[in-house]
Amino acid sequence: MDELLRIKNLKTRFHTQDGVVNAVNGISYQLEKGEVLGVVGESGCGKSVHALSIMRLIQIPPGEISDGEIWFENRDLLTLSENQMRRVRGRDIAMVFQDPMSSLNPVLKVGFQIVEALRLHTDLNPKAAKDRAAELLSLVGIPEPYKRLDNYPHQFSGGMRQRAMIAMALSCEPKLLIADEPTTALDVTIQAQIVDLVIKLQENFGMSIMWITHDLGIVAEMAHKINVMYAGYIIESGSAQDIFKRTRHPYTMGLLGSLPKIDEEPGTKLLSIPGLPPDLLRLPKGCPFYARCNYREDHCKEEMPELEDTDKNGHLVACWRWEEILAGEIT
């Protein structure tokens, strides 16, 4: 597979009255063409901030991308001018946000907003752009697309608004679609429909997808590769099979243990991870998961482990004791 996106040592922080919030702390990974990457972790772990950094949508100030490189098709996005970056957004990289109502302009018709994106990034004339907008609404499963082009966002249900946002994101056939918890505000039935829709569209368009979520069930269904984030770090990364079947980080083990399983005995209690994530204003010197970890030792408190390739096949883990955990030497 060919590389589409490479992140190198990305750091993003926010300057506040209380101090510097270290939101993303030196993450590195790559995404291949046609690959689906799941990014998972608790709220506040840096998932969304890292995606906004890729899109160069961090508000400066108070935000700042303080270090790193974001290579997309052999261009470092952090070196582009704002005008150059505007041409990348929407055309090459598109993003779908969690709440479609805050992403769609409430006083403009849905059709106008999709047509505007098409006119900005393509050479389609107004009629062709409108036809393409209707085609996109039909593609994402919205009935009577020409009629719906004249509706305002409040006339759409939550699921239909999210479909309209996906249609807008796909309008210029981007090479990378970033979906930032796009199903969180929807009920379970609509969530499943949106996930199935995105899987089908990914197969049809052949684009890469970054799906950001706290729901491991969703990424199990669609992701080829998963990054697990904690306190602004990637603490485990690998194929979906690696993450679910050969888990090697205590935090990932805790996340998986908190999921209900169909084959469990009735009355089986779900596991929970004790404590709270560290304060991003005052990150600990060692492993950020130290205070909540059942496998911790003194060394973990003093030094942050680097991501290590545990099987020489791309399954990366940042834990001093992963070998002992894997071998069952500590429980």
Q: What is the pLDDT of residue 6?
A: 95
Residue 252 has pLDDT above 80, yes or no: yes
Band of pLDDT at residue 1, cut at 50, 70 and 90: low
Omega before 250 within 30 of 0, i.e. cis: no
Out of 165-174, 265-274, 275-284, give the one with best mean pLDDT.
Answer: 275-284
For residue range 200-217, list pLDDT tens digits in order: 888 888 889 999 988 888
Tell me the H-state helices in the chain: 47-54, 82-88, 100-103, 110-121, 126-139, 145-148, 158-170, 188-205, 216-222, 240-245, 250-257, 298-302, 322-327
Which pair of tokens denotes residue 129? Answer: 């752009």
Average per-residue pLDDT for the chain:
86
Of 61, 65, 56, 59, nearest to 26 by C-alpha is: 65
Q: What share of the chain is helix, strand, coil (3-state, %, to 5)?
A: 35, 25, 40
Residue 16 has pLDDT above 70, yes or no: yes
- If one compares 187 and 283, the residue with the highest pLDDT of the two is 283
Q: What is the pLDDT of residue 100?
A: 64
Q: What is the pLDDT of residue 330?
A: 58
148/152 Cα distance (integer angstroms): 8
What average pLDDT does this structure show over 75-84? 91
For residue range 130-158, list pLDDT tens digits in order: 998 898 888 888 888 899 999 998 888 87
Band of pLDDT at residue 262, cut at 50, 70 and 90: low
pTM of the model: 0.87
Q: What is the pLDDT of residue 263?
A: 65
What average pLDDT does this structure show over 189-210? 83
pLDDT above 90 coverage of the chain, percent: 32
CB 186 within 8 A of CB 166: no
What average pLDDT does this structure show over 52-63? 91
Q: What is the pLDDT of residue 205?
A: 81
Edge-first strand order for the sheet with 19-32 is: 19-32, 3-16, 63-72, 75-76
Which pair of tokens denotes residue 70? Answer: 């974001």
CB 171 within 8 A of CB 117: yes
